[in-house]
Amino acid sequence: MLDRHTAIALSFLPGPARFQVVDRLRRLAQPSSGLASLPPAGALDDLLVALFPEVADASRWAVDLTRRAGEALETTHRAALSVVAWGDEDYPRPLDEIANPPVVLWARGDPRTLRAEPRVAVVGSRAGSPSALHVAREIGRGLAAAGVVVASGLARGVDGAAHEGALASGRTLAVVGCGADVDYPPEHRGLAARIAATGVIVSEFPPGTAPHRFHFPLRNRLISGLSRGVVVVEANARSGSLITAGWALDQGRDVLVVPGSVTSGRNRGGHALVRDGARLVESAEHVLEDLGLGSAGPVSHPGVEPRPDPVTLAMRPGEALEFDDLLVRTGWPAARLLDRLLEAELAGFVRRVEGGRFVRIGRK
């Protein structure tokens, strides 16, 4: 519907006008609009007049937007980025369903990841507790092992852990609040390179755009918009993850919450979502079942059998064991055993049953 240069030029419109572009293009393309067709590709001033008849001097506006689009394209080539415009084959169809979708996405990595489905977002606190980071990592790993593209925001804490987990067994997609070529936060430079090598980093902001506070709520609407559902791992009452959850609810996406302690205050935001109707999940398997995506099954790398350890070797399938029994059978310290049991439970090897006992499931 738009040639690439025109789409890029329109992406430099001021915020409110930029957010109206796709909706107005849709209306112009309808037969009821009275127009036989849109202005020809490349006729930016005519298109601006059609989109924004209230603008007095569309020609001057078109000159400035065309210049900025040309500069952005030069930067795009130098930074080895891709441009995905609204209407392109790689433009993700779920974004067509949301209000104010971006007219252009700038991608670092493989843009085909944008149309790989299903996608599930995993988000949470930037100052995540060790247990929250562990849970996010294991949920990311389990979802990716089941063929899900894990989406998150490349932020510190839970986002980074979810990306790390996903990279261990599949692909992940990062939506950032700066240019796709900008490494932010700087300590995630290596993680960003690994994401781009197998998945994609995407932004609606042009190359070289620095991170700004007001960019991140906009980024969050794309994380949820791209995804079948949003999993919130540890969110306090003021967490930015609640913004993503809010967007998800507005967009008709599912919101799932990993429960946590009620004493630390770290989970008040997540628990508030549960009171408002969000569903509880504890593992990747729960997420997959809740969203109708099947079962995670044992987590493994393709073609590689899970490595046996004293815990799984000590448990016969279907046998319910007390924690003390496992301490005796494995000879492990209690803290190490608890950590391994949580990891096995999240991965789908072990299930906790009535009485606090543990049952091995999955492969024999």
In what helix (H) or strand (E) does residue 229 lie, and over which residues does it extend?
Answer: strand 229-233
CA angle 182, 184, 189 (to 5 degrees): 85
Residue 260: which pLDDT band, with cuts at 50, 70 and 90?
A: confident
94-104 confidence digits (pLDDT tens): 998 888 899 99
Is the per-residue pLDDT at 36 higher than 70? no
- Residue span(s) of the chain under CATH 1.10.10.10 come to 310-360
In what helix (H) or strand (E) does residue 215 lie, and over which residues does it extend?
Answer: helix 215-225
186-245 confidence digits (pLDDT tens): 999 999 999 999 999 999 999 999 999 989 999 999 999 999 999 999 988 888 899 999
Question: Residues near 179 by Cβ (< 8 Å), separated by ≥ 6?
Answer: 106, 203, 205, 206, 207, 208, 209, 210
Mean pLDDT calculated for residue range 280-286:
92
pLDDT of residue 363: 44
- Cβ-contact 344, 350 below 8 angstroms: yes
Please give the CATH number for the structural domain made up of 112-290.
Answer: 3.40.50.450
**Can you tell me the distance from the alpha carbon of 211 to that of 348, in angstroms, rounded to the nearest whole number?**
38
Average pLDDT for the chain:
85
pLDDT of residue 151: 98
Bridge partners of 173, per DSSP, are 151, 200
62-80 confidence digits (pLDDT tens): 999 999 999 999 999 999 9
pLDDT of residue 295: 56
Closest CA to 126 of 164, 102, 169, 155: 155
In percent, the amount of the chain with pLDDT more than 90 equals 50
**Can you tell me the distance from the alpha carbon of 122 to that of 163, in angstroms, rounded to the nearest whole number?**
9
- Residue span(s) of the chain under CATH 3.40.50.450 come to 112-290
Residue 257: helix, strand or coil by DSSP?
A: strand
pLDDT of residue 228: 95
In percent, the amount of the chain with pLDDT more than 70 equals 87
- Cβ-contact 200, 222 below 8 angstroms: no
142-172 confidence digits (pLDDT tens): 999 999 999 999 999 999 999 999 999 999 9
11-26 confidence digits (pLDDT tens): 998 888 888 888 888 7
Tokens, residue 136: 């996010």
In what helix (H) or strand (E) does residue 122 lie, and over which residues does it extend?
Answer: strand 119-124
What would be the CATH architecture of the domain defined by 310-360? Orthogonal Bundle (1.10)
Adjacency order of strands within the sheet including 104-109: 82-85, 104-109, 200-203, 172-175, 149-152, 119-124, 229-233, 254-258, 279-280
Residue 332: which pLDDT band, with cuts at 50, 70 and 90?
A: confident
- Cβ-contact 86, 239 below 8 angstroms: no
Tokens, residue 249: 């609810």
Ramachandran angles phi, psi of 357, nearest 5°: -85, 165
263-272 confidence digits (pLDDT tens): 778 888 988 9
Is the per-residue pLDDT at 31 higher than 60? no
Tokens, residue 304: 């590689």
